[in-house]
Amino acid sequence: MKIDPVKIHQRYLQKQKQERIKVRSVQLLLLVGFIVLWEIASVQKWIDPLIFSQPTKIWALLLTNIADGNLFPHMTTTLSETVVGFVLGTVFGTLLASIIWWSPFLDKVLEPYLVVLNSMPKVALGPLLIVGLGPGFFSVTAMALAVTVIITTITIYTSFKEVDPNYIKVIQTFGGNKKQIYQKVILPASFPTIVSTLKVNVGLSWVGVIVGEYLVAAQGLGYLIIYGFQVFNFTLVLMSLVIIACLAALMYQVVFYIEKMLIKNRG
């Protein structure tokens, strides 16, 4: 029998495509099935409609809120707090890791503090931050920063230390100094780790912001959730949750895109 590589390749691609379609349709089916089941269960009173609301009500509330422009300020507030907290957490974490890498003495001194800070629940700092920075944007952003910065520092510093010493040797044999070792080897070699911390930080900064808003905010999606809870409007709570899920997914996609850009040339 004759073998035609082109044909085999085409068949392979076709198979891959079929597989993709299969996965996507099952995913869609799950989502639709879940929403439909939710709706029916709520209408039929299998679940308590007061607590679990129902998709059509949530959708209707979403539309009215968008129409009267109520929702938009809440969304932008929360989103900007999250993005700023996320960026600051990553930048400060990387900076701190760099400083510790630079000074082995500082590394030894700070080690127990980092361990304690890392295991401490950062949201417990909430009241302090609020009093210190005043209720509002700054304290909520600071909360996101507090949640992300220590774990970022530890992860990135670990990756700094794990860079193969022979790469450093290459730079040293050319007479390179510490700054050059950092610039040419340590930092670029750690890009993949930095990007993967970005992914973790997306989730963590949302935790910080939502908890921060629970505590103080007069605006934002976290505030909407608490408000809905207080007035026992769970349709509002669930609507906010859906929006948060969508925004977080969007942010994750952006990070994913950045990752592709940054490390496209690595084998």
Partner 1 sequence: MSAHAFIEMRDLTHVYVSKAEANEAISHIDLSIAQGEFLSLVGPSGCGKTTILSCLAGIIRPTQGMIRINGETLRGPSSKVGYMLQSDYLFEWKSIIENVCIGLEIMGKRTKENENYAQFLLHEMGLSRYKNHYPSQLSGGMRQRAALVRTLVTNPDILLLDEPFSALDYQTKLRLEDLVFDTLKKHEKTAILVTHDIGEAIAMSDRIIILKRNPGQIKKEVVIAEELRRKLPFQAREAEGFHELFRQMWKELEEDED
Which stretches of the chain bind partner 1, using CB under 8 A?
164, 166-167, 169-176, 180, 184-185, 188-189, 191, 263, 265-267
Spatial neighbors of 27 by CB under 8 A, at least 6 apart, are none
| Closer of 119 and 166 to partner 1 (Cβ) | 166
| Closer of 5 and 267 to partner 1 (Cβ) | 267
| Closer of 98 and 172 to partner 1 (Cβ) | 172
| Closer of 49 and 176 to partner 1 (Cβ) | 176
| Closer of 55 and 192 to partner 1 (Cβ) | 192
| Closer of 111 and 164 to partner 1 (Cβ) | 164
Q: Are 101 and 157 in contact (CB under 8 A)?
A: yes
- In angstroms, give the least distance from the CB of 196 to partner 1: 16
Among candidate residues 84, 98, 83, the one with its CA nearest the CA of residue 194: 98
CA distance 177 to 127: 45
- In angstroms, give the least distance from the CB of 265 to partner 1: 5
- In angstroms, give the least distance from the CB of 171 to partner 1: 6
DSSP letters along 117-130, please?
HHHS-GGGGHHHHH
* Residue 153, CA distances (Å) to 140, 179, 210 in order: 20, 19, 22
| Closer of 52 and 167 to partner 1 (Cβ) | 167
- In angstroms, give the least distance from the CB of 105 to partner 1: 17
- In angstroms, give the least distance from the CB of 195 to partner 1: 13
- In angstroms, give the least distance from the CB of 227 to partner 1: 48
Provide the residue type at 89 as one letter: G
CA distance 218 to 94: 32
CA distance 116 to 133: 24
H helices present in 103-233, as ranges: 104-119, 126-133, 137-161, 165-173, 178-181, 187-189, 191-215, 221-230
DSSP state of 47: S
Phi, psi values for residue 53, rounded to 5°: 50, -155
Phi, psi values for residue 252, rounded to 5°: -60, -40
- In angstroms, give the least distance from the CB of 59 to partner 1: 47
